[in-house]
Amino acid sequence: MMVELRNMSFAYRGQPSLYEGFDLFVRRGESWSIIGPSGCGKTTLLYLLAGLLHPTGGSIGVDGHPIRRPRPSTGLVLQDHGLLPWATVRENARLGFSIRMFYGPDGKHAPKAPKPGKIVAEREIDHWLQRLGIETLRDKYPSQLSRGQRQRTALARTLALSPDLLLMDEPFSALDAGIREDLQNLMIGFHRESNLTSILVTHEIEEAVFVGERILVLSGETNREPHIVSNDVAGRPGDRNQPAFRDLCDKLRLLIGGLM
Tell me how far apart the alpha carbons of residues 92 and 83 are, in angstroms, rounded to a whole number: 6
| Separation between Cα atoms, residue 73 and residue 51, nearest integer Å | 12
Nearest approach, Cβ of residue 202 and other proteins (Å):
17
- What's the closest the beta carbon of residue 85 comes to other proteins, in angstroms? 6
**Helix, strand counts (H, E) of the chain:** 7, 10
| Options 44-52, 175-183, 196-204, 209-217: segment touching other proteins (CB under 8 A) | 44-52
In the region spanning residues 168 to 227, those forming contacts with other proteins, defined by CB under 8 A, are none
141 vs 190, beta carbon nearer other proteins: 141
For the bound state, the minimum distance from the C-beta of residue 102 to other proteins, rounded and expressed in Å, comes to 5
Q: How far is it, in rounded angstroms, from Cα 124 to Cα 57? A: 39
How big is the CA angle at 213 (ends 209 and 218), to the nearest 5 degrees?
65
**Beta pairing partners, 77:** 168
Long-range contacts of 193-197 (CB under 8 A, 24+ apart): 195/28, 195/29, 195/164, 196/29, 196/163, 196/164, 196/165, 196/166, 197/2, 197/3, 197/26, 197/27, 197/28, 197/29, 197/30, 197/31, 197/164, 197/165, 197/166
Residue number, 62 or 233, with CB nearest to other proteins: 62
Q: In this structure, what are the phi and psi dihedrals at residue 229, rounded to the nearest 5 degrees?
A: -115, 125
| Gyration radius of the chain over CA positions | 18
Identify which of residues 12 and 86 has a Cβ nearer to other proteins in the complex: 86
> H or E segment at 118?
helix 118-131
The residues in 1-40 that bind other proteins, with binding defined as CB under 8 A, are none
Q: Which of 79, 153, 202, 219 binds other proteins (CB under 8 A)?
A: 79
**Nearer to other proteins (CB atom), residue 7 or residue 146:** 146
Using rule CB under 8 A, residue 68 touches other proteins = no
Specify the residue, 43 or 185, whose C-beta has the smaller distance to other proteins: 43
Q: How far is the CB of 201 from other proteins (least distance, A)?
A: 14
Taking CB under 8 A as the binding criterion, the range among 16-24, 153-161, 185-193, 220-228 that sits at the site for other proteins is 153-161
Q: How far is the CB of 98 from other proteins (least distance, A)?
A: 7
Binding mask 83-122 for other proteins (x = CB under 8 A): xxxxx-------xx-xxx-xx----xxx------------
Q: Are 175 and 151 contacting, i.e. CB atoms less than 8 angstroms apart? A: yes
Min dist. Cβ of residue 112 to other proteins (A): 12
Residue ranges binding other proteins (CB under 8 A): 47, 50, 52, 70, 72, 74-87, 95-96, 98-100, 102-103, 108-110, 140-141, 143-146, 154, 157-158, 161, 167
